[in-house]
Structure 1
Amino acid sequence: MSTIRITWRGDAATVHAADNALSEVLDPPADAVSLLKEDSSEADSDTPWTLHAYFEHDPDADAVTEAFAAFGLNIGPGEREVLEDRDWVAHALEGLGIVEAGPFVVYGRHDADKAAALPGHHIQIEANRAFGTGHHPTTAGCLEMLAEVETAAPSRILDLGTGSALLAIAARRLWPHATVLGTDIDEPSVAIGEENAELNGAQGITFRVADGVDESVRREGPFDLVMANILAEPLVDLAPDVAAVTAPGGRILLAGLLDRQEAAVIEAYAAEGFAVTLRGGNVWPILLLERHAERGTLSRM
């Protein structure tokens, strides 16, 4: 069966936003996406990047345009080519290397031997349609930020939009006695998260299909730490619901937004009594916020 590859080129911010659009917004999403840069410059530089997206079937051009528009992108239809009969999706995924972020070493099966020689918390994540292999700046930034708050151990953690469950597993590594709930609106992602948790021996993580902060999530709160590496618009929309399940003095880790969207996200959570205590990233901000203890929240049921 042939594979369709569509290629776009641009600076880091553009191609990483396009990656998110094709992986998270486009329905159905790309089967695989790979990012290449021309030299070793930092990910937030103006170094030319190439984005390859692989599809088993031709994506709807209007759907791709709408997905890009969600990120304010107008980068055209890309360069389309039909590739020879080969498992190009597997080829693209295996090209992903080891990620070292904070105390974490994230790798795929093909890099297991190399990863074994590196110090840190080892997490094996196989690339697939569930977002979160650690290669995107938002995911790597969240892993680094978790290490910054390692000493303040939470007892109840929510990973909202868990995807591959990488952040849930990482939190469990740092806080082995914490109770972790990973939720996602996408049922296949939840199944993948469960598989990854089992693969990594991460006990104590519960997974659930949930549309945002629904009643099933509320029953598990309040949480001392809420992690949400999703998109700016749902982050803003979910601010009151996230506040409702965050304990007084609790923290939230937010990512998936671009720098131009940062002010709106901070404003939405400031209205709910949160203030930024740490910020990471550049083009892709990573925000750690803390809730003022005097603000009300739900009680455990």
Structure 2
Amino acid sequence: MEQVLSGSWKLTLNCTRAEAESISADEFALAMLEPMPALMTSERVADDADQWQLDAYFEDKPDDQTVAAVRALVPSAAEADITLQPVDEQDWVTISQEGIEPVHTSRFYVHTSANRGEIPQGVRPLRIEAGRAFGTGQHETTLGCLTMIERMKASGARFHNIADVGTGTGLLAFAALNLWPAAAVVASDIDPVAMEVTEENAKANGVPLGRLPGQLALATAAGIDHPLLHRRAPYDLIIANILAGPLVELAPRLTSVLAEGGTLILAGLLDRQAATVATAYRRQGMRLAGRMAGEWPTLRLVKRTRYGIGRVRRPGPDGPGLAPGFGSW
């Protein structure tokens, strides 16, 4: 008789490519479920948009309500049979990282302990395990942000005060601190587990933690709702790789803590959602300055300069400076 690892169950549903690409935007529908599944999508038949598969992994056997919630993510499977089965005892790190390849950009090499391979010369290696938090670098949204900030660095952009909102694993905050090592960087996430993972990853990658320039500060927060995030504003660079809905909702608050001329990098949105997200930020005085195209685009926006008596002054290292909108939340 096969030995089964207690708490290991797998639910499989057939789906389409479009459904697979939309699942990340709908995962909040599962946030309150116990057990909370880990979702993975893959092609069943290469280059066939109708032949994809959703696998949901659970720590415990899911009940009918949980199964129904997962099925709701895949409308095409509303009447289809499902496969729910215990999973044989095996290395769950290997399962979660199956099929993951290292990410090699112009300045970084992002890998897991299972796929380290030979690290190329001239790049900064970052070990980010797939597991408890989102953002290993393999997803197009994270890769898009990583590439965008690399391009800004290559063009001569300089930033001194950076926030990574919705940091996940901390990857983008680590990369920003590496690109601008004298900057003050803060990483935040609404999920306390994500902040635990970020702290673990920082230590594993030799990223200094603290609240001084050249160090990474951490804050568990919904959006920017944290005293530390308020005190450190205004920022000249904010990275927010979240989801389209929260990005639209956060538009007034994110822009309120961004300095005039500051840059905002947005990701986590599908191509069909880009116009809606960009419009929400234009209404807050932002202009679209760049875009990385694709099914999961990355937007680069810049805060317009405003003039008038309503501009708020804030002390800074070079004397009193102007921080429009600061303190207006």
Indicate the residue corresponding to 1:189 in structure 2: 194
Indicate the residue corresponding to 1:254 in structure 2: 266
Indicate the residue corresponding to 2:249 in structure 1: 237
- Which residue, out of 230, 234, 241, partners 1:218? 230
Measure how far apart 1:125 and its partner are. Answer: 0.3
Distance 1:246 1:183 in 2: 16
Distance 1:14 1:206, change over 3 A: same
Indicate the residue corresponding to 2:108 in structure 1: 104
Structure number with larger C-alpha Rg: 2
Distance 2:44 2:83 in 1: 21
Indicate the residue corresponding to 1:179 in structure 2: 184
Structure 2 counterparts to residues 158-169 of structure 1, below 5 A: 158-169=163-174
Letter in 2 for 1:186: D
Distance 2:36 2:76 in 1: 17
Question: How far does the alpha carbon of each residue in 1:36-95 deviate from its partner, in whole angstroms, 9 at most, with x for none?
Answer: 336887xxx9485433221122161344366x3xxxx63436733213431363232232
1:218 aligns to what SS in structure 2? helix
Indicate the residue corresponding to 1:269 in structure 2: 281
**Normalised by the size of structure 1, how large is the TM-score?**
0.86
Distance 1:191 1:154, change over 3 A: same
Indicate the residue corresponding to 2:217 in structure 1: 206
- Could you tell me whether the CA contact under 8 Å between 2:187 and 2:218 is conserved in 1? yes
Distance 1:2 1:215 in 2: 36
Distance 1:9 1:177 in 2: 49
**Normalised by the size of structure 2, how large is the TM-score?**
0.79
Distance 2:326 2:29 in 1: 30
- Could you tell me whether the CA contact under 8 Å between 1:8 and 1:15 is conserved in 2? no
Distance 1:210 1:10 in 2: 34
Distance 2:29 2:171 in 1: 16
Indicate the residue corresponding to 1:79 in structure 2: 82
Distance 1:208 1:38, change over 3 A: same
CA RMSD, 1 decimal: 2.6
Distance 1:189 1:32 in 2: 15
Question: How far does the alpha carbon of each residue in 1:189-210 deviate from its partner, in whole angstroms, 9 at most, with x for none?
Answer: 1111111111111121111111
What stretches of structure 1 of length at least 5 have no aligned partner?
none
Indicate the residue corresponding to 1:281 in structure 2: 293
- Could you tell me whether the CA contact under 8 Å between 2:149 and 2:176 is conserved in 1? yes
- Could you tell me whether the CA contact under 8 Å between 2:239 and 2:264 is conserved in 1? yes
Distance 1:128 1:292 in 2: 39
Relative contact order: is structure 1 or structure 2 higher (C-alpha 8 Å, sep ≥ 6)? 1
1:27 aligns to what SS in structure 2? coil
- Could you tell me whether the CA contact under 8 Å between 1:212 and 1:238 is conserved in 2? yes
**Moved beyond 6 Å, runs of 4+:** none
Distance 1:174 1:115, change over 3 A: farther
Give aligned pairs, total. Answer: 290
Measure how far apart 1:139 and its partner are. Answer: 0.8
- Could you tell me whether the CA contact under 8 Å between 2:103 and 2:109 is conserved in 1? yes
